[in-house]
Amino acid sequence: GQSLEQPSEVTAVEGAIVQINCTYQTSGFYGLSWYQQHDGGAPTFLSYNALDGLEETGRFSSFLSRSDSYGYLLLQELQMKDSASYFCAVSRTDKLIFGTGTRLQVFP
Amino acid sequence: DTEVTQTPKHLVMGMTNKKSLKCEQHMGHRAMYWYKQKAKKPPELMFVYSYEKLSINESVPSRFSPECPNSSLLNLHLHALQPEDSALYLCASSRLLAGDSEQFFGPGTRLTVL
């Protein structure tokens, strides 16, 4: 089967750094993506790792290790507006397969 | 224009009604998708269209009927739905189908079936 597991909830304070992990049991995918979804909103694309290693986009970084079947999203200098759900997703030939999702709550 | 639009934003329907959801994009994307999302769950793929042809139907009940009239439009026709079909219905598009990394999502239609 194919599954991507994430912690259900993560909490942190403003200005902190938080890491959201994604462990998967699937193979034959192009890359690992991350999406952010605010309550009542649409998922929006954050980052994509086609290769192993770290990709940095402003305050957000994403990491992939295919040998460990593991990836993570790192959020730095947390802001209140970062409170949202975060989904990892693997890109197959024909579709995205989403992870279980992590709800991030940022406190002042 | 880097936007996917969906109408209506909200829809309440009875189990005997027929209604349609509409999705539009003008980014020249050749792949379009319908997802269903329940609260606190990830989006669940329903249908994929590639170059206006249905390429994936994830064993969706026939009371949901997709249609792709042209490369910019995607419809989802609803008939005889059940209360458990109440959910957020998301449309998305991507440049191409094969291994495309980024999907652009519309704001969704919040559907309530009474």
C-alpha A6 chain-centroid distance: 8
Intervals of chain B under pLDDT 50: none
In this structure, the number of other CB atoms found within 10 A of the CB of residue A94 comes to: 15
Tens digit of each residue's pLDDT (9 = 90 or more) over B50-74: 999 999 999 999 999 999 999 999 9
Block means of pLDDT (10 residues each) for chain A, 108 residues, are 90 98 88 95 94 94 95 98 97 88 97
Q: Are B34 and B66 in contact (CB under 8 A)?
A: yes
DSSP B73: E
Residues 6 or more apart whose Cβ sits within 8 Å of residue B53: B68
Q: Which residue has the tokens 């249609």?
A: B67
Q: Are A39 and B110 in contact (CB under 8 A)?
A: no
Best B34, B35, B100, B110 member to test A by mutation, with max A CBs in 10 Å, is B100
Residues A95, B90: C-beta atoms closer than 8 Å = no
* Chain B residues with CB-CB distance to A41 below 8 A: 107
**CA atoms of A61 and B99, how far apart (whole Å):** 21
